[in-house]
C-alpha cells in the first residue's frame, strides 16, 4: 500500500503526490469515502488519477492510497443475469443499499460471496490423486475463515496432473442454460496436488491447490485492460445467425467477427442490437450500455428479463449479462465499461461458449475519452478527440475473435458496436476510425427509418468482408447462395440509379425492362429486406427460409425478364395471377415472408408451382406469336 496526498482536482481527474512508486493503471482509493480511481499517468512523484465515482466534495490534501493491483473483474459463477455498472458493481445490490441515487464510495462485491454453488470436479483433473469419498475439513476461504468440507490427497493415489492454464477443474451449473467451467488461471505452475470433492462452495473458497503452493479459488480476478490469452486464433468461417435477412444473407457477420452499426438519432441502432441479442445463435449475450440515455437503459433493464429465450423457452436473462453506465453516471467509468464487458465475454469464451457483446454506443465512450483527455490537458486531435482514439478503438475491436482456447475448446467473442455520429455524418472521426478495425458495416439510413422500413440497414452503404469466409457454410445450405446474393445486390444498385431518372422524368418514360427492375426491387425491399418484429412468423427467419425467399424472387425476375423480351407488356405481368388465386403473383411473393412459417417447405413449393406454371404459360403464348 502506497499512500499519497491530493494536490489538484479537475473534475474526475485528480493529481496526487507521493505515488511515484505506484504502478501505471493501479487502482487507487481517494479521500475519506475511498472513491475508486485508476492511475493513468505518472510524472516523477506525482500520479494522475481518473476517479470512477462522483468526487464532489473531495478536498486538496485528501489521502490517495494505491492498492498495488490493476483494475480487475471478478470472474466466477453468478455473473449471468446480473446488472453491473462500468466497474462491475452490482446495481441491484447498490440500489438496496442506497436507493435510486448511488452514493459515492458505496461498495458491493461483484459476486455474491455468501451464496454456495454446487461444484462438480472434472474427472481428468481429479485423476491426479484426490479421493472424493474421503472428505475431511481442509483449506480455508480467501478471507481466512473456515472453508467448506473439502477432500484430501489419497495416499499414493494416481499420477500427478499438470496444472495447465485453461484446464477444466470442474463445473458449476450457473443457470439452466449456462454451465460455468472453473479453470486453471493463466500463470499457474506445478501439478494439481489437491482438488475439492463434489460439494457446495462459495466464490471465495479454494477448490484446488498445486504442489508449488498456489491456491485456486472458485472465482478469480483478471485485469480488464489485458486480453485473456488463447492457444490459437481460428478463421472466422462460421456465420453468426441473427434471423435478420438483410444481415445474414446480404451482410453476414462471422462468429468471432467485429461489426459496427452507425446511424443518426432514431434510426434504430438500439432496437437492431436488441433483436440480434434475442435471436442470434450466440450462447451468451453481453450488453454494454455505454453513455446511453437513462430511459433507453431503463427499457433494456425492464424488457430483457421479460424476453423469452427462443431456444429454451426460459428467460433470456439466464444467458445474459447487462452493464449499465448511463450518460449521467461518472464519465470515467464509462471509459472503462467496454473493457469490463469484453473481459467478461472472454471468460465465457474460454469455457468454449460463443459470446456476442453489444456495445451501445462507442461514440459515447469516445466522448468520455475526449473529456478525460481535455481534463488531463493533452493535445487534441481532430474534432477534439485524443490522438490515441484509433489505438483505443483497435484495442477493443481486436479482442473479438474465434479461438482455440487454452483448454483445447473452441469459443468466440463477436463484437457489435453501435456508433452515433452527430447528425448522421459518417465522415466524423469515430465512424471513420471504427471502419479501420471492423470488417462488417451496417449503415443505418434515416430515409428508410422515416419510411418505417426496419431494420433500416442501407443496402447501398453497408458491406461485409466476411462473405467470402462464410461462403462454404452457406453453399452447403444452397449452392446458389453466392449467385442469388450477388444478383439481388446488383439489382438494388441498378434500381437506385433508375430512381434518380424516375424523379426527373417519371416511370412511364422507362422501357418495360427497366420498369421490371423497379418492380422486383420493391418486392426485394418489401418482401425480403423489411422485417416485422411484431409478426410471430416474420420476427425470426431461419437461414433455409432466407435463401428460399430470395431464390423465388430472383426466379420471378428471370422469368418475367424473358417474357418482356418476347414482347409481353409489364402491366400484364404485374397483374398476373394463378388460376386458383385472385391475388397477383407479385403480391403473394411480397407476403410469403409472413405467410410461410420457418420449416414449411410445402408453402414455398405450392407458390413455386403456381408461379412457374403461370409464367411458363405466358411465355408460351408469346413464343407462339413469334412463330406465327
DSSP 229: P
Q: How many CB atoms lie within 10 A of CB 247?
A: 28
pLDDT at 508: 83
Residues 466 and 485 sit within 8 Å (Cβ to Cβ): no
Q: State the 10-residue block means of pLDDT for the chain, 628 residues long.
A: 93 94 94 94 94 93 94 96 92 88 87 95 72 37 36 46 92 93 92 94 95 94 96 96 96 97 90 90 93 78 77 83 87 91 97 95 92 92 94 95 95 96 91 96 95 94 96 94 96 93 86 94 96 91 96 96 93 87 91 94 94 93 74
Are the C-beta atoms of residues 130 and 195 closer than 8 Å to each other? yes
Residues with Cβ within 8 Å of 627's Cβ and at least 6 positions away in sequence, in order, are none
- The answer to whether residues 426 and 413 touch, using CB atoms and an 8 Å cutoff, is no
pLDDT at residue 509 in the model: 85
Helices of type H across 261-358:
269-279, 294-303, 331-349
Q: Which residue has the cell 431503463?
A: 298
Element (H, E) at 322: strand 320-325
In the chain, what's the furthest Cα-to-Cα distance? Answer: 103
Within 8 A by CB and 6+ apart from 451, the residues are none
Render pLDDT for 142-175 as a digit per residue (tens, 0 to 9).
333 333 333 344 333 446 788 999 999 999 999 9
Confidence at residue 627, expressed as pLDDT on a 0 to 100 scale: 60
Provide the pLDDT for residue 230: 96
User: Would strands 354-360 and 191-195 be described as parallel, antiparallel, or unpaired?
Assistant: unpaired
Domains of the chain, CATH where assigned: 2-70 (2.40.30.20), 117-218 (2.40.50.100), 232-467 (3.40.50.300), 481-627 (1.10.1140.10)
pLDDT for the residue 151: 39
User: Tell me, what's the pLDDT at 159?
Assistant: 60
Q: Mind listing the pLDDT tens digit for each residue in 298-311?
A: 777 787 777 777 77
Q: What is the reported pLDDT for 445?
A: 94
Contact 149, 205 (CB under 8 A): no
- Residue 223 CA to residue 314 CA, distance in Å, equals 33
Cell of 46: 506525482
Q: Which residues contact 276 (CB under 8 A, 6 or more apart)?
A: 242, 244, 247, 356, 358, 416
Amino acid at each position: 500500500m502506497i499512500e499519497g496526498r491530493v494536490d489538484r482536482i479537475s473534475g474526475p481527474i485528480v493529481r496526487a503526490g507521493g505515488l511515484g512508486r505506484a504502478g501505471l493503471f493501479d487502482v487507487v482509493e481517494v479521500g475519506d469515502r475511498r472513491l475508486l480511481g485508476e492511475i493513468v499517468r505518472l510524472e516523477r512523484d506525482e500520479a494522475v488519477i481518473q476517479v470512477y465515482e462522483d468526487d464532489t466534495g473531495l478536498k486538496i490534501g485528501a489521502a490517495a492510497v494505491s492498492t498495488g493491483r490493476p483494475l480487475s473483474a471478478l470472474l466466477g459463477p453468478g455473473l449471468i443475469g446480473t446488472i453491473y455498472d462500468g466497474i462491475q458493481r452490482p446495481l441491484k445490490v447498490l440500489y438496496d443499499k442506497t436507493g435510486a441515487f448511488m452514493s459515492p464510495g458505496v461498495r458491493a462485491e461483484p459476486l455474491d460471496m455468501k451464496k454456495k454453488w454446487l461444484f462438480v470436479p472434472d474427472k481428468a483433473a481429479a485423476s491426479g490423486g484426490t479421493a472424493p469419498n474421503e472428505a475431511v475439513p481442509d483449506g480455508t476461504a480467501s478471507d481466512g475463515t473456515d472453508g467448506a468440507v473439502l477432500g484430501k490427497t489419497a495416499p499414493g493415489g494416481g499420477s500427478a496432473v499438470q496444472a495447465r492454464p485453461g484446464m477444466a477443474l470442474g463445473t458449476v451449473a450457473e443457470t439452466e442454460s449456462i454451465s460455468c467451467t472453473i479453470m486453471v488461471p493463466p500463470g499457474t505452475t506445478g501439478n494439481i496436488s489437491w482438488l475439492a470433492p463434489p460439494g457446495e462452495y462459495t466464490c471465495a473458497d479454494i477448490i484446488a491447490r498445486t504442489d508449488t503452493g498456489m491456491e485456486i479459488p472458485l472465482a478469480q480476478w483478471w485485469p480488464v485492460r489485458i486480453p485473456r490469452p488463447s492457444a490459437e486464433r481460428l478463421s472466422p468461417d462460421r456465420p453468426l445467425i441473427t434471423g435478420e435477412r438483410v444481415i445474414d444473407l446480404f451482410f453476414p457477420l462471422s462468429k468471432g467477427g467485429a461489426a459496427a452499426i452507425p446511424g443518426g438519432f432514431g434510426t434504430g441502432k438500439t432496437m437492431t442490437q436488441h433483436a440480434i441479442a434475442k435471436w442470434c445463435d450466440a450462447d451468451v449475450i453481453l450488453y454494454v450500455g455505454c453513455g446511453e440515455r437513462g430511459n433507453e437503459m431503463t427499457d433494456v433493464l425492464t424488457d430483457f428479463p421479460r424476453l423469452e429465450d427462443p431456444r429454451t423457452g426460459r428467460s433470456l436473462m439466464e444467458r445474459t449479462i447487462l452493464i449499465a453506465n448511463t450518460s449521467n453516471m461518472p464519465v470515467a467509468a464509462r471509459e472503462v465499461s467496454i473493457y469490463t464487458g469484453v473481459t467478461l465475454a472472454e471468460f465465457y469464451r474460454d469455457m468454449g461458449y460463443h459470446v456476442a457483446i453489444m456495445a451501445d454506443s462507442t461514440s459515447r465512450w469516445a466522448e468520455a475519452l475526449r473529456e478525460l483527455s481535455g481534463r488531463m490537458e493533452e493535445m487534441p486531435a481532430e474534432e477534439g478527440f485524443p490522438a490515441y482514439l484509433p489505438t483505443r478503438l483497435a484495442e477493443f475491436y481486436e479482442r473479438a475473435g474465434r479461438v482455440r482456447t487454452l483448454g483445447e475448446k473452441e469459443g468466440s467473442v463477436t463484437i457489435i458496436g453501435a456508433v452515433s455520429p452527430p447528425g448522421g455524418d459518417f465522415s466524423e472521426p469515430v465512424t471513420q476510425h471504427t471502419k479501420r478495425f471492423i470488417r462488417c458495416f451496417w449503415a443505418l439510413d434515416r430515409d428508410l427509418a422515416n419510411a418505417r422500413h426496419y431494420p433500416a440497414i442501407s443496402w447501398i452503404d453497408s458491406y461485409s468482408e466476411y462473405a467470402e469466409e462464410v461462403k462454404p457454410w452457406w453453399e452447403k445450405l444452397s449452392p446458389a447462395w453466392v449467385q442469388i446474393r450477388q444478383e439481388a445486390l446488383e439489382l438494388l444498385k441498378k434500381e437506385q440509379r433508375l430512381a434518380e431518372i424516375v424523379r426527373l422524368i417519371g416511370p412511364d418514360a422507362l422501357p418495360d425492362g427497366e420498369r421490371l427492375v423497379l418492380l422486383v426491387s420493391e418486392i426485394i425491399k418489401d418482401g425480403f429486406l423489411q422485417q416485422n418484429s411484431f409478426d410471430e412468423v416474420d420476427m425470426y427467419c431461419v437461414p433455409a427460409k432466407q435463401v428460399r425467399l430470395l431464390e423465388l424472387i430472383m426466379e420471378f425476375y428471370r422469368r418475367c425478364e424473358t417474357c418482356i423480351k418476347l414482347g409481353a407488356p409489364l402491366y400484364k405481368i404485374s397483374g398476373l395471377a394463378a388460376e386458383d388465386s385472385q391475388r397477383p403473383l407479385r403480391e403473394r411473393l411480397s407476403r410469403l415472408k409472413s405467410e410461410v412459417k420457418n420449416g414449411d417447405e410445402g408453402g414455398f413449393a405450392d407458390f413455386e408451382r403456381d408461379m412457374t406454371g403461370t409464367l411458363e404459360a405466358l411465355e408460351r403464348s408469346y413464343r407462339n406469336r413469334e412463330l406465327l
